[in-house]
Amino acid sequence: MRVLGIDTGSRITGYGVIDIDGADCVFVECGIIRVLASASLPVRLKAIHEGLAGVILKFRPDETAFESVFHSLNVQSALKLGQARGVCIHAAAAADLPVYEYSPAEVKSAVTGYGRAEKPQVQQMVRALLKMADHFDSYDASDALAVAICHAHTHRFKKLAVAGR
């Protein structure tokens, strides 16, 4: 099964693609969709949607996983993030992909064992879990891979629980 993890942002959206092979997660690709901060919000949203639709078309994932919205003190930032998440979820839904969501604490806990881990810890564990030698250029890409890994582990345990009934 192939999973696309997405770390949505209104300026930078990270994506990470992994294959699930039994209990193992295998790295396929990761990257970012960067939009111009100076562009209007509709133009940025269109670029995010087109970029993610291209990733979906290229890598053909079976499922998508998103980090759920966190609380923000800045209402405008939260609204922009919500709109960016909406176009990302639409890109997945338009490709008939199942969409799963995980809280930031669930993602961090699944990857590091600690729900309040910092970004460098998450990034280091993603590299270790996926047996990657290279460093990431962006926390957005490693966070997206963390979401995909979280989904792989959570999905696997749910399947095992259902099979054990």
Q: What is the pLDDT of residues 88-121, one digit of tens each?
A: 999 999 999 999 999 999 999 999 999 999 999 9
pTM of the model: 0.93
Which residue out of 19, 24, 29, 67 is catalytically annotated?
A: 67
Q: Looking at 21, 106, 137, 140, which residue is catalytic?
A: 140
pLDDT-based confidence at 164, cuts 50/70/90?
Answer: low
Task: Tell me the per-residue pLDDT of 113-155, one tens digit each, with 9 for 90 and over.
Answer: 999 999 999 999 999 999 998 888 899 999 999 999 999 999 7
Distance CA 82, CA 70 (A): 10
Residue with token string 């999973």: 3
pLDDT digits (tens, 9 = 90+) for 12-31: 999 999 999 988 999 999 99
Q: For the purposes of burial, counting CB atoms within 10 Å of the CB of 9, is it exposed (0-12), middle (13-18) or buried (19 or more)?
A: buried
pLDDT recorded at residue 138: 92
The reply to whether 67 belongs to the active site is yes
pLDDT of residue 136: 85
Domain count, the chain: 1
Is 7 an active-site residue? yes
User: The domain containing residue 123 runs over which residues?
Assistant: 2-163
Candidates 7, 63, 106, 143; catalytic one: 7
Output the domain CATH number for residue 69: 3.30.420.10
* Catalytic residue list contains 62: no
